[in-house]
């Protein structure tokens, strides 16, 4: 008997046939209204849900989905999935840890290069017929700090250290003995020791505003911030104040608090580079993400351990 998967995501459509060819029946509901309608109409049919961190799945929705047995989250973050409600029902939650680490790390480095070398403004002025040869900081040899050293953080570290001869340090809850990078016990101490701070940790209450005014102050007037993780990790008001006041030199952001809305205060700053939450999006990443979802589903419904479980 085929299983029914409620698909709430909107970014992997080209690869969803991987699930259909494996025998899964898909109910696509990528908008809020379609989601509400699908849950109301098919609540007693849905065996699995495919979502992503910001879209999540609430306790009320979990209660309505009476047959639900597994929630698969694409990407590493799962901050809006009610893990407590899922655990209370014995529902398994998986994530996409590592599936899109390469593209996210590539984008982080692209943002870093664009920010330090002032690429967007140089391109815009050249297109206007100007010839402004502004001197910009070098990237090679800089001190890079990474908050969060999971699959994405490690991919960024490799690119920075091996490709740009950067000295890499990191902060995580505990040091990782297997990596050759320097561990700091807090974001504050890490920021004080580096030139560039990259946010690569999952969102959620445990990481909310890890980067606050004090951390930005420690990063300093010649320091740069790059965030390809979750906007909630950075205090946006503190960041705007730091950018306006010259507390830090600049920031590159792929994530925002109220997407797709981007604060005018960030758009108005000349020392920002902004992209619309696209770091993890590439054809390769979408394919690998759906393939991992399929492997988790197949393992679960075969009574085997899932590959990437999330614990409450």
Task: State whether 132 and 199 are in the same domain.
Answer: yes
Catalytic residue among 230, 287, 295, 311: 230
Range of the domain at 295: 4-99+282-301
Question: Which segments in the chain show pLDDT lower than 70?
Answer: 1
Task: State whether 167 and 47 are in the same domain.
Answer: no
Task: State whether 131 and 270 are in the same domain.
Answer: yes
The pLDDT score that the predictor gives to residue 77 is 86
Task: State whether 110 and 87 are in the same domain.
Answer: no
Task: State whether 132 and 228 are in the same domain.
Answer: yes
Catalytic residue among 20, 130, 259, 284: 259
| Residue at token pair 């000295």 | 167
The pLDDT score that the predictor gives to residue 1 is 58
Look at residue 312 and tell me if it is in a domain: no
Task: State whether 129 and 42 are in the same domain.
Answer: no
Task: State whether 159 and 48 are in the same domain.
Answer: no
Beta-carbon contacts of 133 under 8 Å, excluding residues fewer than 6 positions away, are none
Q: Is 259 a catalytic residue?
A: yes
Task: State whether 221 and 91 are in the same domain.
Answer: no
Q: Is 230 a catalytic residue?
A: yes
Strand boundaries in the chain, DSSP class E: 4-7, 25-28, 48-52, 70-74, 92-94, 143-147, 167-171, 182-184, 196-199, 224-227, 250-253, 272-274
Look at residue 59 and tell me if it is in a domain: yes
Question: What CATH number does the domain containing 174 carry?
Answer: 3.40.50.720
Look at residue 309 and tell me if it is in a domain: no
Catalytic residue among 209, 277, 287, 295: 277
Look at residue 219 and tell me if it is in a domain: yes
Task: State whether 262 and 147 are in the same domain.
Answer: yes
Look at residue 80 and tell me if it is in a domain: yes
pTM equals: 0.91
Cβ neighbour number for residue 158 with a 10 Å cutoff: 13
Beta-carbon contacts of 287 under 8 Å, excluding residues fewer than 6 positions away, are 15, 18
Model confidence pLDDT, tens digit, residues 166-203: 999 999 999 999 999 999 999 999 999 999 999 999 88
Look at residue 205 and tell me if it is in a domain: yes
Q: How many domains does the chain fold into?
A: 2
Task: State whether 179 and 269 are in the same domain.
Answer: yes
The pLDDT score that the predictor gives to residue 19 is 97
The pLDDT score that the predictor gives to residue 76 is 85
The pLDDT score that the predictor gives to residue 312 is 72
Burial of 35 (0-12, 13-18, 19+ CB in 10 A): buried
Look at residue 40 and tell me if it is in a domain: yes
Task: State whether 261 and 294 are in the same domain.
Answer: no
Strand boundaries in 40-166, DSSP class E: 48-52, 70-74, 92-94, 143-147
* Helix, strand, coil percent values for the chain (each to nearest 5): 40, 20, 40
Look at residue 217 and tell me if it is in a domain: yes
Task: State whether 267 and 153 are in the same domain.
Answer: yes
Model confidence pLDDT, tens digit, residues 72-83: 999 888 999 999
Q: Is 79 a catalytic residue?
A: no
């Amino acid at each position: 008997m085929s299983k029914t998967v409620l698909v709430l995501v909107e970014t992997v459509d080209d690869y969803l046939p991987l699930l259909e060819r494996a025998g899964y029946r898909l109910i696509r509901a990528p908008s809020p209204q379609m989601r509400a309608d699908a849950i109301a109409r098919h609540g007693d049919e849905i065996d699995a849900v495919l979502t992503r961190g910001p879209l999540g799945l609430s306790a009320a929705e979990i209660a309505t989905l009476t047959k639900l047995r597994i929630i698969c989250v694409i990407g590493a973050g799962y901050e809006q999935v009610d893990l407590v409600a899922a655990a209370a029902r014995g529902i398994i939650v998986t994530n996409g840890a590592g599936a899109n680490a390469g593209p996210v790390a590539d984008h982080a480095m692209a943002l870093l290069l664009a920010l330090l070398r002032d690429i967007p403004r140089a391109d815009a002025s050249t297109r206007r017929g100007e010839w402004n040869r502004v001197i910009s900081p070098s990237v090679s040899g800089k001190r890079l700090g990474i908050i969060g050293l999971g699959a994405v953080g490690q991919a960024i570290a490799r690119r920075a250290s091996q490709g740009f001869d950067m000295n890499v340090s990191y902060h995580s809850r505990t040091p990782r003995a297997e990596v050759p990078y320097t561990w700091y016990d807090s974001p504050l101490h890490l920021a004080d020791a580096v030139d560039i701070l990259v946010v690569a940790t999952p969102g959620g209450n445990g990481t909310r505003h890890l980067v606050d005014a004090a951390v930005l102050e420690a990063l300093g007037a010649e320091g740069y911030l790059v965030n390809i993780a979750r906007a909630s990790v950075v205090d946006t008001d503190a960041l705007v104040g730091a950018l306006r006041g010259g507390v830090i030199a600049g920031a590159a952001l792929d994530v925002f608090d109220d997407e797709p809305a981007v604060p005018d205060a960030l758009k108005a700053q000349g020392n920002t580079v902004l992209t619309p939450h696209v770091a993890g999006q590439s054809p390769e990443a979408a394919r690998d993400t759906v393939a991992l979802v399929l492997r988790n589903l197949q393992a679960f419904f075969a009574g085997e351990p899932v590959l990437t479980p999330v614990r409450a």
